[in-house]
Structure 1
Amino acid sequence: MQARPRVQLDFIDALRGVAIIGVLLSHAQRNVEMYQAMGHQASMSGWLSRYAAQGARGVQLFFVVSALTLFLSAGKRGGEPHEWLNFYIRRFFRIAPMFYIAFGVYCLAPVVMKGQALPPPGTLLGTLGFINGWNPAWLLGANDVVPGGWSIGVEMSFYIVFPLVFLALRDFPKAFAALCVILLIDVLTWPALVAHPPIADGDLWERFVFVWLPNQLPIFLCGICAYFILFGQTGALTRFFHEGDRRANAALFALGVLTLLVVPQLTDDPRALFLYGLAFGLITLCLYRQPYRWLVTVPMRHIGKISFSGYLVHFFMLQVARKLLARVHAGDHLSPDMYFGATVVVALAGTVVLATITYHLVEVPGQALGKRLIQRLAARRAPAPDRTTIQRT
């Protein structure tokens, strides 16, 4: 018998909030140390720089949560007429409206207002078609189209294969076996793939191999395994994460957090990505059992709710923060660590405000448009009423 999910999964929104804050931290660190936001070369404290840079793994936390919620949603809609067509419509209208507006702001506006050149056609079309993660040449200029567009391309690529994944992985043993097999393949083939790039730019190829879907797929599978543990079976694991000992749950949660703290200090190996995915999966399970009040707060849940808009607008707000701090000559008076902190505070506050607006003005209407399209298609497919029967009645 399938475990019955809770009505409210507030911890999911909280995790999304953590994810977007992590991503913002990583980009604020780059502004200070790579892009000379202070007006000169600067270096943050080693420990702070290292942890802030690893905030980029918030993208992988998004992937874990996305896979879990996709399976949960697909399971509830099983048997729906034309369920996979409806799935693609919902996913497209969940992502595309805000993404294309971001394209207008980040790409088209500079062309019109500043005379900048458009990115190459392949990069442009690959990014707008959400397939930029399948060609290294398209990936190179993807951030010139929409900053952060690579991760959205990976997410949309997962949507493409999702029906096959959902139909193939029907229980935890199959999902766990798939995780182990693909994880092993990715770990073992990484050195050979990096050592023999098929293109001249070896650095670009290494980046491509890191971000493309086959390398990110184990992260999604961590979320799928978490789904089956919570909702897909009635074994010991399910019972534990539904009603097990809270002290043991807290210990496992601490183990997941400790992994996130220790791994950045031990290695820079890109394959450490998978340790983050496993840690995120464990933390997700523990928060289902005990949504800690210090983390699953109303503000954090709100940030998670608007996190997709937040992901797209935080790049803009980082530039706003840079200009505001430049006006007060913060780069001359603050240490790199303090400047980083000020950047985060200003950019995060602005991101929450702007993303809240775009969530209500763009995302919600976009999703509503997708629902109306599904309803119209269903109405067209419905059989016409029998006129004879109508006349008789």
Structure 2
Amino acid sequence: MAVAPAAAFLTVQAQPKVQLDFIDALRGLAIVGVLVSHAQRNVEIYQAMGHQALMSPWLSRYAAQGARGVQLFFVVSALTLFLSAGKRTREDTPWLNFYVRRVFRIAPMFYLAFGVYCLAPVLMKGQALPPLGTVLGTLSFTNGWSPAWLLGANDVVPGGWSIGVEMSFYIVFPLVFLALRSFPRALAALAVFLLLAVLTWPWLIRHPPIDDAELWQRYVFVWLPNQLPVFLFGICAYFVMFGHAGKLSVFFREGDRWRNACWFVLSVAVLALAPQWLDDPRVVFVYAAAFALLALCLFRQPYRWLVNRPLQHIGKISFSGYLTHFFMLQVARKALAAVHAGDRLSPDLYFVATAVLALAGTVLVSSVTYRFVEVPGQALGKRVIEMLAARRARDARPAEGATG
């Protein structure tokens, strides 16, 4: 009877099978953006060239905003989670199966990254292990629940903060899914949480409950309550694509392609202008809105210059790519140092060389880890679900025989 609460939602799924290549393409854009932002930091903050260097202001600004690829991941994640969960509400234990799938989707590659980034330096180079609370918070995906755990999270698994936010969203996802069963509800939730995030930000920043005000500001930005509107943009996009959102659904499923192209141009224009408009951290919500609109436009018309096999492949391996690109940036740094590129190239060219080398290495390594770590992990999760279902079936037989 576990499916009853969501039974009304099944009508939303009565849609023909659609092509979702644009989802992988968006993930590809997201990981490329994140890699580019970290390449910029390598040049300007971490002195990869061997000395202080500054890129051209416009290039530096746009490269830094590649970090918003994380929010693109969140938008796409919420969209696909609703699509997947809606198709599986008839399972005997849909939410148990949901958590099993999520854990086996994330944990194998994440724990491998922990071994490479954290354990290997401790065992091979004698580096100190990060504080136990930080390690346990990161490994349990709860590092976003405390500012103290967040501080050293990158010493455990680089980029682990965003995976912690994602996993925190998974915890509340069943409640979100059951509560937001229509576009009006999703839109109302977006309005409420977006308003709360925008209005409470100044007060939270002015009243830090810890001594480290800078850490508190970082924490308030990354914790789930502040990122929740980003996920909600993805949920609203889901209802427009696959649910009943009135004229919006009609337009983005059947609307004129020229008008769709206009909306596509608008989404790209917002993404292009946002770095010039605002320095306020709350600009992430502008990005989230533009990402949701971009997804809607590509759903209606997957432009082949954007939705193509190379970018789709990068998107398919993007989770591995997110975890491996930090290592490949260091490989690129050493490769460029070996040819004394820091003395020969301008900061702009050095940045481009770093990004290109790191991206090529990331695609190569991540293709391998996707095939030999992620895919087997997901297959293992599927087998666990099948084993649990078989056990429930065995346990149910005696009871059925007794009642017969």
Global fold match (TM > 0.5):
yes
Q: Which ranges of 4 or more aligned residues in structure 1 deviate by more than 4 Å?
A: none
The answer for the alignment partner of 2:74 in structure 1 is 63
Output the CA distance in 2 between the equivalents of 1:183 and 1:320. 40
Q: How many residues align?
A: 389
| 1:365 maps to which of 368, 371, 376 | 376
Q: Give 1:234 shift.
A: 5.9
Output the CA distance in 2 between the equivalents of 1:125 and 1:148. 16
Q: Give 1:5 shift.
A: 4.8
Unaligned 5+ segments in structure 1 are: none
The answer for the alignment partner of 2:310 in structure 1 is 299
Alpha-carbon deviations, 1:38-67, whole Å to 9, x = none? Answer: 000000000000000000000000000000
Residues 183 and 245 in structure 2, CA contact (< 8 A), matched pair in contact too? no
Alpha-carbon deviations, 1:118-169, whole Å to 9, x = none? Answer: 0001100000000000100000000000000000000000000000000000
Alpha-carbon deviations, 1:255-296, whole Å to 9, x = none? Answer: 111111111011110011100000000000000000000000
Structure 1, 149-158 or 1-10: larger mean CA deviation: 1-10
Output the CA distance in 1 between the equivalents of 2:168 and 2:336. 38
Change over 3 Å in CA distance of 1:93–1:201 after alignment to 2 = same
Query: Matched residue of 2:90: which SS?
Result: coil
| 1:285 maps to which of 289, 296, 299 | 296
TM-score, normalised via structure 2 length? 0.95
Output the CA distance in 1 between the equivalents of 2:247 and 2:204. 39
Query: Matched residue of 2:47: which SS?
Result: coil
Q: Is 1:166 aligned with 2:177? A: yes
The answer for the alignment partner of 1:380 in structure 2 is 391
Unaligned 5+ segments in structure 2 are: 1-10
Output the CA distance in 1 between the equivalents of 2:103 and 2:81. 14
The answer for the alignment partner of 1:322 in structure 2 is 333
What percentage of residue pairs aligned between the two structures are identical? Answer: 74
The answer for the alignment partner of 1:101 in structure 2 is 112
Output the CA distance in 1 between the equivalents of 2:253 and 2:193. 28
Residues 5 and 231 in structure 1, CA contact (< 8 A), matched pair in contact too? no
The answer for the alignment partner of 2:63 in structure 1 is 52
1:334-353 alignment to 2 at 5 Å? 334-353=345-364
| 1:247 maps to which of 255, 258, 276 | 258
Residues 82 and 177 in structure 2, CA contact (< 8 A), matched pair in contact too? yes
Q: Is 1:183 aligned with 2:194? A: yes
Q: Give 1:7 shift.
A: 3.6
Q: Is 1:4 aligned with 2:19? A: no
The answer for the alignment partner of 1:78 in structure 2 is 89
Q: Give 1:341 shift.
A: 0.3
The answer for the alignment partner of 1:127 in structure 2 is 138
Residues 79 and 234 in structure 2, CA contact (< 8 A), matched pair in contact too? yes
Residues 93 and 370 in structure 1, CA contact (< 8 A), matched pair in contact too? yes
Q: Give 1:345 shift.
A: 0.7
Q: Is 1:332 aligned with 2:343? A: yes
Output the CA distance in 1 between the equivalents of 2:388 and 2:18. 29
Residues 127 and 142 in structure 1, CA contact (< 8 A), matched pair in contact too? yes
Query: Matched residue of 1:103: which SS?
Result: helix
Structure 1, 199-208 or 229-238: larger mean CA deviation: 229-238
Q: Is 1:27 aligned with 2:42? A: no
Query: Matched residue of 1:382: which SS?
Result: helix
Q: Is 1:225 aligned with 2:212? A: no
The answer for the alignment partner of 2:25 in structure 1 is 14
Residues 10 and 296 in structure 1, CA contact (< 8 A), matched pair in contact too? yes
Letter in 1 for 2:28: G
Q: Give 1:4 shift.
A: 1.2
CA RMSD of aligned residues (A): 1.4
Alpha-carbon deviations, 1:2-53, whole Å to 9, x = none? Answer: 4615343000000000000000000000000000000000000000000000
Output the CA distance in 2 between the equivalents of 1:191 and 1:7. 43
Q: Give 1:383 shift.
A: 3.8
TM-score, normalised via structure 1 length? 0.97
Q: Is 1:261 aligned with 2:272? A: yes
| 2:158 maps to which of 118, 128, 147 | 147
Residues 32 and 336 in structure 1, CA contact (< 8 A), matched pair in contact too? yes
Q: Give 1:235 shift.
A: 1.8
Letter in 1 for 2:80: T
Query: Matched residue of 1:130: which SS?
Result: coil
Output the CA distance in 1 between the equivalents of 2:238 and 2:16. 10
Structure 1, 76-85 or 161-170: larger mean CA deviation: 76-85
Query: Matched residue of 1:209: which SS?
Result: helix
Change over 3 Å in CA distance of 1:8–1:42 after alignment to 2 = same
Residues 28 and 311 in structure 2, CA contact (< 8 A), matched pair in contact too? yes
